[in-house]
Structure 1
Amino acid sequence: MGFPKFSLSSTVLLIMVTGLSLRAESTTYWEDVDVLKELKNGLDPGSVSPGSCVSSWDFTVDPCDSLFSERFTCGFRCDVVVSGTSRVTEISLDQAGYAGSLSSTSWNLPYLETLDLSDNFFSGPIPDSLANLTHLRRLGLSRNSLSGQIPAAIGSLSELEELYLDNNNLQGGIPASMNNLVNLKRLELQSNRLAGEFPELGRSLKNLSFLDVSNNAISGNIPASFPSSLVQISMRNNSLEGTMIHDSFRNMGYLQVLDLSHNRLSGFVPAFLFDGALPSLQQLALSFNRFSSLKFPASLGSQSELIAVDLSNNELRGLLPSFMALMPKLSALSFENNKLTGMVPTMYALKAVVPRPGISPLVRLLLGGNYLFGPIPDSLMGLKPGSVNVRLVDNCFFQCPDIFFFCQGGDQKSLTECKSFAPVIP
């Protein structure tokens, strides 16, 4: 689950102008004009198609004073800052198909608040000169072809609230200077080639609500602390290892989504994830790790707000945890492809078929790929295809015929394999 970027995107972005900038005496500050010229001249001419936004920029007239003429009709915004002088406060050229290098522009725009160049074909490194944008609140460079490292100079943007560098070819580590971005609310670095350990941000970024660094090569342990303001943490598909540390998530009362799937985490899944210590947590994804056990919460999950739990493709052993049937809002549960054994708790079946009043029913119960055995709970037998998504394939049920939809799509394990894993399996 993500949050909208509040993007101003369109192939041709309409100009937004405040009333102040309509004053006839307003003129564009000359250094701002130079930056606009550099930006246009640095683009690959082949990417500036006739009728596109930048193609309309005509520097024979004053840019900010000609916003409503046939020239300079899109792509930037001006505001009068002092004595009738206009400064460029926004450049938004996202989804325009432009190519070029950002380093060819000096970026000396101290009044710029928004720079959005997402969904283009810009290449090369992120220039250090972006540190000149001292009033910047939103920087969007998503979905380009940027390479090199994230410059430490980006930590100079102390007013920044949103930073989007996702879906590029950025390498190296995440600079510790990001601790200086004390106003940051949203950080998206996913789908790059970033490596090294994730820096400690919990003591500095007190306003961060959304963090996505998934699909990189980040290694090391989970940070010792996260900002308590976080609503979503996505660190899936990295190389994180070690165990989950309770202190990493203590006092995170706003956290709704935690996705640490596709890493190398091991040890036990801590009980605090299920006992209400994280009172807002709704989605928990820990699949494709190396967890071997799961701790039972003292509250037996009765205070949990979890809606979806994915613990598939780990190395979990033991019996299915019956307490999850007591979690009042849980509706999707996956334990597929682990090493769990024993029988399916009747409580699971009842939660899927006839849940108690005030308890959300299980609409997804995926238990395939384990060593479960014994009789299938009677209440599951009456389920009709499409009513609930249940999977029991690749287990040790020797009476799970294809007439039941939850037995379709794969065979049960052989008796030899089942006995080899657990001799008690009948």
Structure 2
Amino acid sequence: MANPLSSLSLFFIVAAVVHSRQAHSLTSPSDVAALKAFKSAVVPSSIAPWSCLASWNFSSSDPCALPRRSYFTCGLSCSSSSSSGGPARITLITLDPAGYSGTLSPLVSRLSRLAVLDLSDNSFRGPIPSSLSSLSALTTLSLRANSFSGSVPALTGLKNLRSLDFSYNSLSGSLPSSLSSLSSLTRLDLSFNRLTGSIPKLPPNLLELALRANSLSGPLWKDSFAESVQLEVVELGHNWLAGALEPWLFLLPSIQQIDLANNSLARIDVATPPAGGGGSLVAVDLGFNRIEGFVPGSFANYPQLSSLSLRYNRLRGDIPAEFGRKATLRRLFLDGNYLTGKPPEGLFSGEATVAFGSLGDNCLRECPARSQLCVPSQKPDAVCKRAYGGRPRS
């Protein structure tokens, strides 16, 4: 006959072990509620059977329970439960590009330990909840390539955010002035939206700025970039930016790449960098603007410059002789202007090392037909004479 005390003892031991495992593995109830709300805001018919969200079955498993053989197999990560027996917390939501549609539930803001939220390459729509600003642990926020609309919310509470990507959506309105408060932000990409207005003051630790293919307008103000001394990449192409580019832009301490192609810029002023300065600038694209005047020879004084495009503007005069002596220059596009004279011999004789580019569709003379740099052919004489008030090209 079994000893009733032994059976009772065994029951309590097993119960204690089960309770201990649950206390150390189950997800915080508030996080579970937030995840349920997140999934409920997704259109059920857009959840493919093979997708990550299809495996989120709250009635059969706990989100942070291990091993994840059948449920919650992907799309999220959890922190370990605390040594004091506290619940596990959701730290990451990264959905697969499965074509999910629906809205982003504001209740996701209850995931107070969330460090990464990435819903890229899906079909989420509607406004971006302003409540995301309460996710103080967030370091990466990517809603890239969805159908979000409305304005860019003020995200002032995201003091730890390092990467923000809302590109390829349908966001409109102006950029929030609160951007400058994101003190940890190093990468900002809002390209391919419908944003308007000017560029506000940028965050102090920004390395990459991408605002391509919007409807931003007006001039670039030095004050907007004044605190971004670590900025390396500026991508502002395909907007409506106008006015003049002043020397400060090319003299930003860490700048390497500048893309302002396809805007309405009218003038550029490029200063010679100070001794020991300007050493980082590698590539400049100012093509397809309305820039008048002469090609700035000062570009040749930037020691690392290897790619320069001023194509299809309204530039006149000679190609600076310094370009023919610049050994680092590998790409040079000056086509589609009204440049005159004879191109620098160094561009063809090997003194320079231009490997790719074009000087075509100008008013040059003696551009060697054997060189790919001279393709396409020069403008007709009649066009050049009209451009220079009836005088023949020199």
Q: TM exceeds 0.5?
A: yes
Match of 1:366 in 2: 333
Question: In the TM superposition, what are the counterparts of 1:16-55 in structure 2 within 5 Å?
Answer: 23-26=21-24, 27-55=26-54
Deviations 1:129-170 (A, max 9, x none): 435534333322222122223344x43444433332222222
Contact 1:318–1:341 (Cα < 8 Å) also in 2: yes
Match of 2:15 in 1: none
Match of 2:195 in 1: 194
Contact 1:241–1:263 (Cα < 8 Å) also in 2: no
Contact 2:51–2:96 (Cα < 8 Å) also in 1: no
Task: Output the CA distance in 2 between the equivalents of 1:293 and 1:193.
Answer: 25
Match of 1:230 in 2: none
The answer on 1:257 being equivalent to 2:233 is: yes
CA 1:374–1:99: 2 relative to 1, 3 Å? closer
Contact 1:395–1:412 (Cα < 8 Å) also in 2: yes
Match of 1:335 in 2: 310
Question: Out of 395, 405, 412, which is 2:378 matched to?
Answer: 412
The answer on 1:388 being equivalent to 2:372 is: no
Query: TM-score, normalised on structure 1?
Result: 0.73
Secondary structure (helix, strand or coil) at the match of 1:25 reads helix
CA 1:44–1:304: 2 relative to 1, 3 Å? same
Task: Output the CA distance in 2 between the equivalents of 1:303 and 1:181.
Answer: 28
Task: Output the CA distance in 2 between the equivalents of 1:113 and 1:349.
Answer: 51
The letter for the 1-side match of 2:393 is: I
CA 1:64–1:213: 2 relative to 1, 3 Å? same
The letter for the 2-side match of 1:374 is: G
Match of 2:99 in 1: 97
Task: Output the CA distance in 2 between the equivalents of 1:65 and 1:271.
Answer: 54
Contact 1:38–1:105 (Cα < 8 Å) also in 2: yes
1:106 Cα offset (Å): 5.9
Q: CA RMSD in A?
A: 3.3
1:251 Cα offset (Å): 6.0
Question: In the TM superposition, what are the counterparts of 1:13-412 in structure 2 within 5 Å?
Answer: 23-26=21-24, 27-64=26-63, 66-70=65-69, 71-79=71-79, 80-81=81-82, 83-103=85-105, 107-152=109-154, 154-201=155-202, 205-218=203-216, 240-242=217-219, 244-250=220-226, 252-274=228-250, 277-295=251-269, 297=271, 303-305=277-279, 306-351=281-326, 355=327, 360=328, 362-382=329-349, 388-400=355-367, 402-409=369-376, 411-412=377-378
1:380 Cα offset (Å): 4.2
The letter for the 1-side match of 2:247 is: A
1:122 Cα offset (Å): 1.6
Q: As a proportion of its length, which structure holds more helix? A: 2
Task: Output the CA distance in 2 between the equivalents of 1:381 and 1:113.
Answer: 54
CA 1:84–1:45: 2 relative to 1, 3 Å? same
CA 1:181–1:248: 2 relative to 1, 3 Å? closer
Segments of structure 1 that go 5 or more residues without pairing to the other structure are 1-21, 219-239
Secondary structure (helix, strand or coil) at the match of 2:89 reads strand
Deviations 1:190-209 (A, max 9, x none): 222223444434xxx43433
CA 1:163–1:23: 2 relative to 1, 3 Å? farther
Segments of structure 2 that go 5 or more residues without pairing to the other structure are 1-19
Task: Output the CA distance in 2 between the equivalents of 1:100 and 1:290.
Answer: 38
CA 1:247–1:381: 2 relative to 1, 3 Å? same
Match of 1:228 in 2: none
The letter for the 1-side match of 2:325 is: L
The letter for the 2-side match of 1:164 is: D
Aligned pairs, number = 367
Secondary structure (helix, strand or coil) at the match of 2:385 reads helix
Contact 2:263–2:289 (Cα < 8 Å) also in 1: yes
The letter for the 1-side match of 2:166 is: L
Contact 2:272–2:299 (Cα < 8 Å) also in 1: no
Structure with larger Rg: 2
